[in-house]
Amino acid sequence: MGASKPLWEEETSLVQDLLSLSDPVDERTYSEVMKFLYREAELLDFWLYDKWLELIEEDVDYRILKRVTKPKGFGFGILEEPILWDLGKAALEARIQKMFKSPFAWSEDPPSRTIHYLSNINVFKGREEGEVLARCNVMFVRNRADDVGAEILPYHRIDTLRRRGEGFKIAKRYVILIQTVIPMKNLTSIY
């Protein structure tokens, strides 16, 4: 009897590649990365986008990947193409300028109130010297204006962080959505 493909195996080479890194970092580095990720979430939740942009490398590769539903045994349905977002730092800066600093961006006036809950944080040695790979789950919660309810968007996140001095900067970020249909009117404040 031949070996069967595991049910969780993903055909997307990008995801296979990122999940293949599994050599854990030491406790000190793990603690530093957790503090970095928590601080980053605070900056986003309190609209400190200029400070958040300081955490982004100039050559950042920032993607939000789409999902499709697949039958059991055919992978997770994570698509490498088409990508919802594929942004560099200049595009992130322009997006933040437009959404949060322009008087004509009505979709974020008044600004959304957000919380980024991080869980299942795993940190591994990266491929390059001074890099680490941080995988986590994020529960993004947003409330707008005087709405009674909140919008919730859970996703997986895979970050490549580069050590810069005493801290880190984000070199790559891949957001892998859980839903195939996004339950929000816009994605202006998901980062």
Per-residue pLDDT of the chain (191 residues; tens, 9 = 90+): 445 544 444 556 767 777 778 899 999 999 999 999 999 999 999 999 999 999 999 999 999 888 888 887 777 778 777 677 788 999 999 988 888 777 777 777 788 899 999 999 999 999 999 999 999 999 999 988 787 888 999 999 999 999 999 899 999 999 998 888 887 777 776 66
Q: What is the DSSP letter of 24?
A: B
- Structural domains in the chain, CATH included, are 13-177 (3.10.450.50)
Distance (Å, whole) CA 18 – CA 134: 10
Q: What predicted TM-score, i.e. pTM, was given to this entire model?
A: 0.86
- pLDDT for the residue numbered 1: 47
In this prediction, residue 66 carries a pLDDT of 83
Extract the tokens encoding 12: 């997307």
Contact 141, 114 (CB under 8 A): yes
- Closest CA relative to residue 114, chosen from 32, 186, 175, 61: 186
pLDDT at 8: 46
Give the pLDDT score at 6. 47
Which pLDDT belongs to residue 190?
A: 65
Question: Taking the chain, what is the end-to-end CA distance rounded to the nearest angstrom?
Answer: 46
Which CA distances in Å does 10 have to 13, 75, 131, 160, 174? 8, 4, 24, 20, 16
Amino acid letter for position 121: I
For 160, left (φ over 0), alpha (ψ -120 to 50), or beta?
beta
7 contacts 72 by C-beta, under 8 angstroms: yes
Place of tokens 């969780």: 8
